[in-house]
Amino acid sequence: MRSVVESEGAPAAFAKVSLQEKEATIALGGTWNLKGSVRPKSATTLNEVQSADGITRVRCVGQDLGTWDSSLLLFLSEVDEWCQAHQIALDLHDLPEGVGSLIALAKAVPEAETKSRHAGHVSFLYQLGAWAIGQSSAFTAAATFIGECVLSLMRIATGKGKVDWRLFWLTMQESGFQALPIVGLISFLTGLILAFVASIQLRQFGAGIYVANLVAVAMAREMGAIMTGVIMAGRTGAAFAAQIGSMKVSEEIDALDTLAISPMDFLVSPRVVALFLMMPLLGFYSDLLGIAGGAVVGLGVLHITLLQYWNQTVGSMGLEDIITGVVKSGVFGVIVALTGCQRGMNCQNNAAAVGNAATSAVVLAITWIVASDAIIDVVLDVLKL
């Protein structure tokens, strides 16, 4: 690249073909500029060469060549390919030294025989089979991960596991105290919305006071735990996946392994335990804020007194409702932590995979939160609790 700037008045690039018996000469000249718009096409030039019969040699000369860049190399490499395909000798000796040198460099290393990445047509059955195998592998990986986590917790309980306690307390703080504002806001609004929808229906029957019952039971048994779980899946689960995934990419996990420190003990278990301990507290906090949101509607829209609302709430809710919600929150905490850590630990070795790990951790956690909530409800119903 003598100069890639096409100066005004510089002669345009050209490739002129002259034929003499069995030799074709391509005279290259002018300014060859990748960013310019006018460049000879190798196909046109080669058509001219091909029009003559019995050509055995193509000679490229560059006496009138001005500045040039990769566009000239591109032209010549196409001529070279054509000559090889037609078993015609190519002579580049009359071109500037640098041109021949770069063409030689490009040809110095033969093309690697790599497996073709362009997959042909894939049948539906093949895709279905591949999907099923993928799901089965994912299930096995998840089950193995849970098993390893249980073993890790047992090692820690018996004092044999090496735990990063600083990480444990940090996770407690990040997933506990620092989550209070967002959990509080969402829970308050959830309670408010529940009360508002209920008030529209119940007022028609003169049963507006029962809004307090509905909000209290719904928040305590279901919505407090679910909303906290969903928020923590998006906030903390994604962070776990991204943090551990990045550590995988930068070989920090390998470094722990080679020191015979189990990454499960050091990185995963502290997070699982921290979230398991904090989530019930957050769930209970969510219940309170949700009930407060309902009270705002009760007082503001239904004109119930605060004492009436309070009495109605306390009267409608049993200890078992609160315990149900708190237990669910604990379960959801374990789900969020496990999915986040598992996706991070199984992350591939590149930046895009870290993003995918965070996304799939959130989706999987929310799916399992809703599914496990349904399972717990069915079990509690069967047990008449």
Partner 1 sequence: MNYGSYVVMQDINFRVQPGQVFVIMGGSGCGKSTLLKYLIGLKPVEKGDIYYHGRSFSKASEDEKEQVQRSFGVLYQGGALWSTRTLAENVALPLEEYTKLSDHEIRELTSLKLSLVGLKGFEDFYPSEISGGMRKRAGLARAMSLDPEILFFDEPSAGLDPISSRRLDDLILRLRDSLGTTLVVVTHELASIFAIADTAIFLDAETKRMLVQGDPKELVKEGKSDPKVRTFLLRGQSGEESK
Q: Is 97 in the site for partner 1 (CB under 8 A)?
A: yes
Report the nearest approach of partner 1 to the CB of residue 55 (Å). 23
Report the nearest approach of partner 1 to the CB of residue 115 (Å). 9
Other beta carbons within 10 angstroms of residue 109's beta carbon come to: 7
Report the nearest approach of partner 1 to the CB of residue 100 (Å). 9
**How many whole angstroms separate alpha carbon 247 and alpha carbon 235?**
19
Q: Is 106 in the site for partner 1 (CB under 8 A)?
A: yes
Binding flags for partner 1, 291-310, as an x/- string (CB under 8 A): --------------------
Report the nearest approach of partner 1 to the CB of residue 39 (Å). 9
Q: Which of 351, 371, 374, 385 forms a contact with partner 1 (CB under 8 A)? A: 351
Binding residues for partner 1 restricted to 29-58, rule: CB under 8 A: 34-35, 37
Report the nearest approach of partner 1 to the CB of residue 247 (Å). 16
Q: Which of 13, 26, 83, 99 forms a contact with partner 1 (CB under 8 A)? A: 99
Residues with Cβ within 8 Å of residue 317, at least 6 apart in sequence? 216, 217, 220
Report the nearest approach of partner 1 to the CB of residue 267 (Å). 22
Edge-to-edge strands of the sheet including 14-20?
A: 14-20, 23-30, 57-65, 89-94
Report the nearest approach of partner 1 to the CB of residue 358 (Å). 15
**How many whole angstroms separate alpha carbon 145 and alpha carbon 152?**
10
Report the nearest approach of partner 1 to the CB of residue 233 (Å). 25
Q: Which of 246, 213, 243 is nearest to 316 (CA)?
A: 213
User: Which residue, 115 or 384, is less far from partner 1 as judged by CB?
Assistant: 115
Report the nearest approach of partner 1 to the CB of residue 10 (Å). 16
How buried is 90 (Cβ within 10 angstroms: 0-12 exposed, 13-18 middle, 19+ buried)?
A: middle
Q: Which of 72, 80, 88 is nearest to 24 (CA)?
A: 88
Q: Is 319 in the site for partner 1 (CB under 8 A)?
A: no
User: Which residue, 34 or 170, is less far from partner 1 as judged by CB?
Assistant: 34
Pair 299, 202: CB distance under 8 Å: no
User: Which residue, 87 or 114, is less far from partner 1 as judged by CB?
Assistant: 114
Q: Is 93 in the site for partner 1 (CB under 8 A)?
A: no
User: Which residue, 20 or 47, is less far from partner 1 as judged by CB?
Assistant: 47
Q: Which of 350, 374, 375, 379 forms a contact with partner 1 (CB under 8 A)? A: 350
Q: CA-based diameter of the chain, in Å?
A: 111
With tokens 């080679």, the residue in question is: 258
Q: Is 352 in the site for partner 1 (CB under 8 A)?
A: yes
DSSP codes, 200-216:
HHHGGGT-GGGHHHHHH
Residue type, 255: A
Q: Is 382 in the site for partner 1 (CB under 8 A)?
A: no
Q: Which of 107, 132, 318, 367 forms a contact with partner 1 (CB under 8 A)? A: 107
Size of the site for partner 1 (CB under 8 A): 37
Q: Is 359 in the site for partner 1 (CB under 8 A)?
A: no
Handedness of CA 200, 316, 185, 225 (dihedral sign): negative
Pair 17, 24: CB distance under 8 Å: yes
**Extended strands (E) in 76-225:** 89-94
- Residue 325 gets the label, from left (phi > 0), alpha (psi -120 to 50) or beta, of alpha
User: Which residue, 117 or 121, is less far from partner 1 as judged by CB?
Assistant: 117
Exposure on the CB side of residue 28, measured as CA atoms within 13 A: 28
Q: How do 57-65 and 23-30 pair as beta strands?
A: parallel
Q: Is 73 in the site for partner 1 (CB under 8 A)?
A: yes
Sites of contact with partner 1 (CB under 8 A): 1-4, 34-35, 37, 69-70, 73-74, 77-78, 97-99, 101-102, 105-114, 116-118, 348-353
